Structure 1
Amino acid sequence: MLKIYVGYDSREDIAWEVCRYSLIRHAVGEISICPLKQPPLRELGLYRRPEDKTASTEFSLTRFLTPFLADTDGWSMFVDCDFLFTGDITAQIASLDPSKAVYVVQHEYTPQQTVKMDGKAQAHYPRKNWSSMMLFNGRHPDVQALRPDVVNTADPAHLHRFNWIRNATDIGALDLDWNFLVGEYEAPDKAPTAIHYTNGGPWFPNWIDVDYGQLWTEERDRMLAEHDAQAA
């Protein structure tokens, strides 16, 4: 079973719900999905860092607790809540090299926006958005060493730039199709498998007309209709 942790932000509950629904709807293999909420992690003593009011999301650093929480010698996954999946994530697992520590889409770009989502400042740094979707290899020693003490004490740049991986060649590369940054790349005719509304999605009033926004709205409406039918 692939254990998936989705970053949860209280401002984007509907984004988490739609992300989760799209993952489940397309998955052929078995998956489990858990929202990565900061308050329970604090209550359990797993996340102890001071509140960072400059962070763009509540899961900016808690994402790196994923392999510890998953507690598996197989693959586990973290993904931001502002993703929409149009294909099967479990099909990707069979193609991964077991010698790699982590797989990510290795973006090389300069953000086109100065603000994102609901007015948060847009930052630019090396390996930006690599950590927005990560597949962790639980057998790799660098992943096994990524424990709560590291997540709670390491410099944020150390975590987001993957400096905790000793050999850069142990960072595997996924195709752009698995973390397509809406608004940063020209939209292809065929919808990507993992659409990332990194600057803001249709759940924010000022981002309704983004590329693939209609796909997200359709997925939300499908989810709500299914919930209503089950409740009837």
Structure 2
Amino acid sequence: MIRVFIGYSRAAPVVSSVAALSINRRASQPVAITHLALNQLGGLYTRPQHELQSTDFSFSRFLTPSLAGFQDWAIFMDDDMLVLDDIAKLWALRDDRYAVQVVKHDHVPQEDVKFLDKVQTKYEKKNWSSVMLFNCARCTALTPDYVNSATGLELHQFKWLGDDGLIGEIPHRWNYLADYDPTIPARDISIVHYTLGGPYYDDTSDCAYSDLWLAEREAMLHCAQRVAKTK
């Protein structure tokens, strides 16, 4: 069973739903998807909202190994993503030499403000934590107490590992940054990440690969109907 945890935003619930559908439509193996909704985390997550926090799951994402019982492997991904490939291919990249595997972006945002007028923060390892392949048994430092008390940089810069050598790399195609990375054919992308805002926001409705996300949303809304019989 492939375990996937998706960030959930109360401000845009449709986004995580489309992300989940995009996984299910293309997966060749059984997938268990959990949406990281804050109302379901109870006492596990007690951090107050930070002024620089751009999403509900900015920090709760690091509860993934704990929610998985610190056993086996699990995938975390942001909600603003569209999976265009079989998630089993990402799952197959698990490497026991590492505690976590990510796309090691060299992402230096040029803008100061991101979607919904949130401040665009700039730091080393930016966007590395937006798709994480967790070797949960090797991430026991991420207890709820630690996740609730550590600084944002300690979490997102993987300081809880104590050794960057425990961070493995996965191919760039598994976290392609729309409107930041060079435009390439969709067939060469496994996950589109609308990190600057996607077609679900009016301000970014014309973003790169917006047609793919809109088509996925239409597929999500589809429901077969009974065809009336003619007499």
- 1:186 matched to which residue of 2? 182
The equivalent position to 1:229 in structure 2, one of 214, 224, 227, is 224
Q: Does the CA-based 8 Å contact 2:105-2:126 persist in structure 1?
A: yes
Q: Does the CA-based 8 Å contact 2:141-2:161 persist in structure 1?
A: no
**Structure 2 counterpart of 1:18, one-letter code:** V
My pick for the range that moved more, 68-77 or 164-173, is: 68-77
Query: How much does 1:139 deviate?
Result: 2.8
**Structure 1 counterpart of 2:67, one-letter code:** L
- 2:36 matched to which residue of 1? 36
Q: Does the CA-based 8 Å contact 2:65-2:137 persist in structure 1?
A: no
The equivalent position to 1:71 in structure 2, one of 64, 69, 72, is 69
| Regions of 4+ moved over 4 Å | none
- 1:56 matched to which residue of 2? 54
The equivalent position to 1:89 in structure 2, one of 71, 87, 90, is 87
Q: Does the CA-based 8 Å contact 1:29-1:91 persist in structure 2?
A: no
Alignment of 1:169-208 (within 5 A): 169-191=165-187, 192-208=189-205
- 1:12 matched to which residue of 2? 12
Q: Does the CA-based 8 Å contact 2:177-2:193 persist in structure 1?
A: yes
- 2:119 matched to which residue of 1? 121
- Whole-Å Cα distance in 2 between the matches of residues 198 and 231 of structure 1? 39
Alignment of 1:146-185 (within 5 A): 146-185=142-181
Gaps of 5+ in 2: none
Query: How much does 1:91 deviate?
Result: 1.8
Query: How much does 1:101 deviate?
Result: 0.2
My pick for the range that moved more, 216-225 or 45-54, is: 45-54
Query: How much does 1:118 deviate?
Result: 1.7
Query: How much does 1:75 deviate?
Result: 1.1
Query: How much does 1:230 deviate?
Result: 7.1
Q: Does the CA-based 8 Å contact 1:181-1:196 persist in structure 2?
A: yes
Q: What is the TM-score when the length of structure 1 is the normalising length? A: 0.93
Query: Which has more radius of gyration?
Result: 2
- Whole-Å Cα distance in 2 between the matches of residues 150 and 130 of structure 1? 19
Q: Equivalent residue of 1:164, what SS?
A: helix
1:130 matched to 2:128? The reply is yes
Query: How much does 1:97 deviate?
Result: 1.4
- 1:212 matched to which residue of 2? 209
Gaps of 5+ in 1: none
Query: How much does 1:190 deviate?
Result: 3.3
Aligned-residue identity in percent:
39
Query: How much does 1:231 deviate?
Result: 9.6
- 1:23 matched to which residue of 2? 23
Q: Equivalent residue of 1:10, what SS?
A: coil
Query: How much does 1:103 deviate?
Result: 0.6
The alignment of Structure 1 onto Structure 2 pairs a total of residues equal to 226
Q: Equivalent residue of 2:224, what SS?
A: helix
- Whole-Å Cα distance in 1 between the matches of residues 141 and 117 of structure 2? 35
Q: Does the CA-based 8 Å contact 2:27-2:86 persist in structure 1?
A: yes
Q: Equivalent residue of 2:217, what SS?
A: helix
Q: Equivalent residue of 1:139, what SS?
A: helix
- Whole-Å Cα distance in 1 between the matches of residues 160 and 210 of structure 2? 35
Query: How much does 1:61 deviate?
Result: 0.4
